[in-house]
């Protein structure tokens, strides 16, 4: 049983409780090994996956060597850059009134971003600077041929995440994900999908960078306001990654990401079925369409969802129809 919250010791106790390491992969990397990871549906650390990447080799030499390597590819195309004041201590989040965010969005080329990060490496209280999800093919043409995964992932796109010491709040992705640390060190804190109620999900329609986030600061959890986080902490996993290390994160697994060095670079790869649509989008539409209906109508629609979506034999509900009209048409991802 978790103790009652006490301001002097409660947050520290919970933070220390999240110490169980994520499982680490052992064996030969292959498409079959990745398929096994997907079927097991839990995060797996892959040590040294990218040690031979030229980008990682440059990073292991020095920040300057990696900067030169990256800037050599830079197309000059601008990307979105998040910039927050020193007061946020690198944690991108909402403002105090939950009306917006505690940072600004700007645009710039990756070379200019890298120069700014390197110029402020020794500043004890720098602005938080972060560019995320920049498609390598657009911003660093040539990256993909030199820094590739050992898996066949036709729908995956390499994306770059570059910044200083920053903290991305707990969130989930709808697609499978492999994240590779190129420079710096990153700590992933992960929670299984069934803990979402204990993570206190923020607004679905007002998000920080796409997916919904947890309202809990895992470094200083306010258990007076978010008491159930103590239970989520019991199920948390930790993965500390160095350059060349990677982690596989299944869809809908929550992850909190802290970049812990003055110059950090990560590459990630999301993938899903080519015709995948967004369950989160379906959820939000269902909330708008159904949640506030009178109870008899909600109950009626609940039965439809159970029978056509969630029952183990839901696909059999259309068995009485000719095969060519059993499936709904797909319109592609959303």
DSSP conformation letters of 234-293: HT-EEEEE-TT-EEEE-TT-EEEEEE-SSSEEEEEEEE--TT---HHHHHHHHIIIIITS
Would you state the pLDDT for residue 16? 67
In 3-state terms, what secondary structure has residue 2? coil
Position 43 pLDDT exceeds 50: yes
For residues 302 and 295, the answer to whether their CB atoms sit within 8 Å is no
- What token pair was written down for 307? 């029978």
User: Distance (Å, rounded) from C-alpha 142 to C-alpha 148?
Assistant: 11
Reported as a pLDDT band with limits 50, 70 and 90, residue 4 is very low
For residues 266 and 163, the answer to whether their CB atoms sit within 8 Å is no
Q: What phi and psi, each to the nearest 5 degrees, are found at residue 312?
A: -60, -30
Would you state the pLDDT for residue 10? 67
Task: Kindly report, residue by residue over 307-323, the tens digit of the pLDDT.
Answer: 999 999 999 999 999 99
In 3-state terms, what secondary structure has residue 139? helix
Q: Average the pLDDT over 185-213 and give the result.
A: 95
Which residues, at least 6 apart from 96, have a Cβ–Cβ distance to it below 8 Å? Answer: none
Reported as a pLDDT band with limits 50, 70 and 90, residue 13 is confident
Average pLDDT over the chain reads 93
Q: Over the Cα atoms of the chain, what is R_g?
A: 22
Q: Average the pLDDT over 95-105 and give the result.
A: 95
Would you state the pLDDT for residue 5? 29
**Buried-state track 268-285, b at ≥16 Cβ within 10 A, e below 16:** bbbbbeeebbeebeeeee
Position 1 pLDDT exceeds 70: no
Helix axis angle for 110-119 and 63-73, nearest 10°, is 160
For residues 46 and 33, the answer to whether their CB atoms sit within 8 Å is no
Task: Kindly report, residue by residue over 55-86, the tens digit of the pLDDT.
Answer: 999 999 999 999 999 999 999 999 999 999 99
Least confident residue range of 47-56, 103-112, 273-282: 273-282
**Domains detected in the chain:** 10-271 (2.60.120.650), 279-325 (no CATH)
- What token pair was written down for 21? 């390491």
Least confident residue range of 2-11, 19-28, 49-58: 2-11
Position 175 pLDDT exceeds 80: yes
The larger pLDDT score, comparing residue 275 to residue 245, is at: 245
**Which region holds residue 123: left if phi is over 0, alpha if psi is between -120 and 50, else beta?**
beta
- What token pair was written down for 158? 């390499």
Position 90 pLDDT exceeds 60: yes
Q: Taking the model in full, what pTM does it have?
A: 0.92
Position 179 pLDDT exceeds 70: yes
Q: Average the pLDDT over 91-110 and give the result.
A: 95
Q: Give Cα separations from 109 to 81, 119, 262 (angstroms).
A: 9, 16, 19
Task: Kindly report, residue by residue over 225-240, the tens digit of the pLDDT.
Answer: 999 999 999 999 999 9
Task: Kindly report, residue by residue over 266-275, the tens digit of the pLDDT.
Answer: 999 999 988 8
Q: Average the pLDDT over 89-114 and give the result.
A: 96
């Amino acid at each position: 049983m978790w103790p009652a919250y006490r301001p002097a010791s409660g947050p520290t106790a919970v933070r220390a409780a999240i110490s169980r390491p994520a499982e680490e992969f052992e064996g030969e990397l292959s498409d079959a090994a990745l398929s096994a990871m997907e079927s097991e549906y839990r995060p797996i650390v892959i040590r040294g996956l990218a040690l031979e990447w030229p980008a990682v080799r440059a990073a292991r030499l020095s920040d300057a060597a990696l900067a030169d390597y990256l800037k050599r590819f830079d197309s000059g195309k601008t990307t979105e850059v998040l910039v927050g004041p020193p007061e946020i201590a690198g944690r991108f989040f909402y403002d105090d009134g939950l009306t917006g965010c505690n940072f600004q969005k700007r645009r710039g080329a990756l070379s200019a971003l890298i120069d700014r990060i390197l110029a402020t490496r020794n500043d004890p209280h720098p602005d938080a600077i972060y560019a995320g999800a920049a498609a390598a093919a657009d911003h660093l043409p040539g990256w993909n041929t030199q820094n590739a995964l050992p898996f066949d992932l036709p729908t995956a796109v390499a994306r770059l995440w570059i910044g200083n010491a920053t903290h991305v709040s707990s969130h989930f992705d709808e697609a499978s994900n492999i994240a590779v640390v190129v420079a710096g060190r990153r700590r992933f804190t992960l929670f299984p999908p069934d803990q979402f109620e204990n993570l206190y999900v923020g607004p679905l329609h007002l998000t920080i960078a796409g997916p919904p986030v947890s309202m809990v600061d895992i470094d200083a959890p306010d258990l007076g306001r978010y008491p159930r986080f103590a239970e989520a902490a019991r199920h948390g996993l930790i993965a500390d990654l160095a350059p060349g290390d990677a982690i596989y994160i299944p869809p809908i697994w929550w992850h909190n990401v802290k970049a812990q060095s003055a110059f950090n670079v990560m590459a990630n790869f999301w993938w899903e079925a080519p015709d995948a649509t967004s369950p989160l989008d379906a959820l939000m539409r269902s909330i708008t369409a159904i949640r506030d209906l009178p109870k008899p109508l909600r109950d009626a629609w609940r039965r439809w969802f159970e029978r056509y979506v969630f029952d183990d034999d839901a696909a059999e509900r259309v068995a009485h129809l000719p095969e060519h009209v059993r499936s709904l048409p797909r319109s592609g991802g959303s």
